[in-house]
Amino acid sequence: MNWTEETLRSTLAQPDFTSVYEQADVLRRERKGEEIQIRALLEFSNYCKRQCRYCGLNAKNARLTRFRLEPAEIVETALAAAETGYHTIVLQSGEDGWFTPEIIGEIVQAIKPSGMAVTLSCGEHPEEVYRYWKECGADRYLLKHETADPDLYRQLHPDAWLKDRVSCQKNLKRLGYETGGGFMVGLPGQTLDTLAQDLLLLREVGCDMAGIGPFLPNPDTSLGSYPHGSAEMTRRAVALARLLLPDANLPATTALGVLEPEAKRSVFSCGANVVMQKVTPNRVKRFYEIYPSELKDSDISSGRTQIEEEIRRLGRVPV
Ligand code: SF4
pLDDT, tens digit, 9 for 90 and up, residues 283-293:
998 889 776 67
Contact call for residues 214 and 229 (beta carbons, < 8 A): yes
pLDDT tens across 67-82, in order? 999 999 999 999 999 9
- Written as one letter, the residue type at 169 is Q
Q: Does residue 111's CB lie within 6 angstroms of at least one atom of ligand 1?
A: no
Q: Does residue 94's CB lie within 6 angstroms of at least one atom of ligand 1?
A: yes
Give strand pairing partners of 209.
180, 249
* Closest ligand 1 atom, residue 157 Cα: 4
- Helix ranges (H only) for 175-286 are 192-205, 231-244, 254-259, 261-266, 282-285
What is the DSSP secondary-structure string of 278-309? E-S-HHHHTT--SS---PPP--HHHHHHHHHH
- Give the C-alpha separation, 147 to 221, whole Å: 18
Q: How far is the CA of 56 from the centre of ligand 1 (A)?
A: 8
Atom 7 of ligand 1: nearest residue by CA position: 94
Tell me which residue of 185, 174, 173 sits closest to 148, measured CA to CA: 185
Which pTM value belongs to this model?
Answer: 0.94
Atom 5 of ligand 1: nearest residue by CA position: 58
pLDDT of residue 151: 97
φ and ψ at 248, to 5 degrees?
A: -70, 155
- Is the pLDDT reported for residue 260 higher than 70? no
* Closest ligand 1 atom, residue 94 Cα: 7
Q: Within a 10 A sphere around the Cβ of 48, how many other Cβ atoms?
A: 23
Average pLDDT over residues 267-279: 90
Burial class (CB in 10 A: 0-12, 13-18, 19+), 297: exposed
Q: Which domains does the chain have, with CATH numbers?
A: 5-318 (3.20.20.70)
- Written as one letter, the residue type at 37 is Q
- Give the C-alpha separation, 312 to 117, whole Å: 24
Q: Does residue 303's CB lie within 6 angstroms of at least one atom of ligand 1?
A: no
Q: Does residue 95's CB lie within 6 angstroms of at least one atom of ligand 1?
A: yes
Tell me which residue of 193, 209, 83 sits closest to 148, measured CA to CA: 193
